Amino acid sequence: MSIFIALLILSFLVFFHELGHFIVARMCGVSVEVFSIGFGKKIASMYIGQTQYALSLIPLGGYVKLKGQDDANPKARNYEVDSYLSKSPYQRIAILLAGPLFNLLLAFFLYMAVGLGGKLSLLPVIGEVKENYPAYLAGMKTGDRILSINDKEIKTWEELDSAIVNAQGALLVALQREVNANPHIINLFEVILTPTQQETKNIFGETITRNMIGISSSGEMGIVQYNFLQSIGYGFNETLKASTLIIQSIMKLISGVVPSSEVGGVVSIVSVIGSASQDSWIMLFWLTALISVNLGILNLLPIPALDGGHIIFNCYEIIMRKPPSENIAYYLTLCGWAILFGLMFLGLYNDIFRLLS
C-alpha cells in the first residue's frame, strides 16, 4: 500500500509540474497536442478540442507535448501560428518557468497545511548552558523556554537557531522559567545578550564561523501549530529554506564536498514516502512539499533537455538576436539526455547498493 501511495504522489507532482506548462502554453496561444498522465503506451484517451488527454501505462508522472516542441527530435521545426517556436523567447521562457514554479507553489500550500495542522517539532527549551558564553553570562539556565527574540515569537528550536544565526547585534530574549515543581510557579523575564562568533560544522561537514550564545537543546518535542496568517509565513519560509538547501546540496555535490554515493533515485524516494505515509498525513505533506521543491529546482538546472536548458537557449536568442544553430541545439540536447540518464543510473546504483548493504 505504501508503494502505491508513493507512486501516486510522484505521479501527482509530475502531473502538477506539467499542468503549469499546459496552462501557460494555452495562455500564450500554443496548441497542446498531448496531455498524458503516465508514460508509455496509452491505455485510454479522449480529445477535447485539439488536445489528446491520455492515461498511459507507466504511472510515474506525465508529460505535455506542445506543438512545435520535440525533445526527442530537436531538429524538427514548426513555425505555425499556434506552435511553440512561433512565440517570442519571452513567452517560451514563461511556458518553461511555469512547470517549476507550479512545483514551488504546490510546496508552499503543502507547507501551509503542515503549519495549520501542527508538526512535531523540537521545542525551544534549553538543555545545557555552556560556561562563559553569552547565555551563561546573561543568567539563562537549563529548562528555560525561549518565548521570543526581539519581540518575534519563537515556537521551535529551529526558529531560535535562525534568529541567533541571523542576529546583527544584541538580542532581547524573553524567557519562561519554572522555579518550583509543585505547584508550578512560572517566572517570565527578559535578558539582553550579544552572540559571539564561533567555529562549528555545518550539515555538509565543513568548518564555518557563525553566531552562537552557548546553549543546546533539551530534546523536548511537541506539536507546533500556526494560525492562518502565521502559516502563510511558515509556508513561504519553508519553501525558501528547502530551495536554498537543495541549491547548496547541488553545489556541494558538484564541488565534491558531498560524495556521489549520497545521490538517491526513485527507490529511495519511494521508500521515504512510504515510511512517511505510515507515520502521519502531516509528515507525508511535509515530505511531499520537499520533493516538489526538489523537482522544481532540479528542472531549472541549465542542462539541455530540462526546462533550465531550454531557458538558456531562449536567453541566448534574446542576447544574440538569433536562435542557436540546429546542430548545436541537437548535440547539446543529446548531451543533456546523457547527463540525465547518467544521474538516474547513479541514483539507481546507489539505491541497490544500500538495499544490498
Cα atoms in the Cβ-side hemisphere of radius 13 Å centred on 85? 17
Residue-by-residue DSSP string for 112-171 = HHHHHH-EEEE-SBEEEE-TTSHHHHTT--TT-EEEEETTEE--SHHHHHHHHHT--S-E
Cell of 92: 517560451
Cell of 337: 539526455
Contacts of 297 (CB under 8 A, 6+ apart): 100, 243, 246, 247, 250
Q: How far apart are CA 124 and CA 346, in angstroms?
A: 39
Active-site choice (18, 80, 178, 220): 18
Q: What is the DSSP letter of 324?
A: P
Contacts of 70 (CB under 8 A, 6+ apart): 76
Residue 66, helix vs strand vs coil? strand
Cell of 132: 562563559
Question: Which parts of the chain fold into alpha helices (H)?
Answer: 2-27, 89-117, 134-137, 157-165, 228-255, 266-279, 281-298, 307-320, 326-356
Contacts of 340 (CB under 8 A, 6+ apart): 303, 305, 306
Burial of 269 (0-12, 13-18, 19+ CB in 10 A): buried
Active site residue 33: no
**How many C-beta atoms surround the C-beta of residue 137 within 10 A?**
15
Q: How far apart are CA 65 and CA 46, in angstroms?
A: 15
Residues taking part in catalysis: 18
